[in-house]
Amino acid sequence: MSRVNFTAGRPVEYFILVEPRPDGSIVGHYAGHIIAEAVVDCFGRRFTYAGIAPRLRSGRYDVDALQPGEWIVEPGLIYYADPGRSGGLLKKLRGSGSHSVLGSA
């Protein structure tokens, strides 16, 4: 028996990186934009290039096809989280010594 999924799906905006900036070398071009080896978002997290984002027939990104840790960067590139090289706020707070608001671990 086939099932029809009438849900609207997860909003695409939940999967798009905020203010990504190139980091590393240029590995190609896509839709008139450069493809950077990696990007860093507005929180200082680093993401590595993984490929082109799949789209549905409607042209909408297929966010259900993304793997855990993958994010979309316009104009339709996929980058995955690079936890070993992230420089986010939490990492900065943990590494700030005695002035850390998190206390000692």
pLDDT number for residue 24: 93
Instruction: Say which residue the tokens 């549905």 belong to.
Output: 56
Q: Is residue 95 part of a domain?
A: no
Within a domain: 100: no
92, containing H or E segment: helix 89-94
Report helix, strand or coil for 32.
coil
Is 96 among the domain residues?
Answer: no
Provide the pLDDT for residue 93.
Answer: 44
**Rounded Cα gap, residues 59 and 46, in angstroms:** 27
In a domain, 29, yes or no: yes
Positions of the chain with pLDDT lower than 70, given as ranges: 1-9, 82-105
Q: In the prediction, which pLDDT does 100 show?
A: 37
Note down the domain range covering 65: 12-85
pLDDT of the residue at 73: 97
What confidence score (pLDDT) does residue 84 get?
62
- Angle value at C-alpha 74, between 70 and 89, nearest 5 degrees: 55
Instruction: Determine, yes or no, domain membership for 105.
Output: no
Amino acid at 98: S
Would residue 50 count as lying in a domain?
Answer: yes
Query: How far apart (Å, rounded) are the C-alpha atoms in residues 10 and 76?
Result: 17
Count of domains for the chain: 1
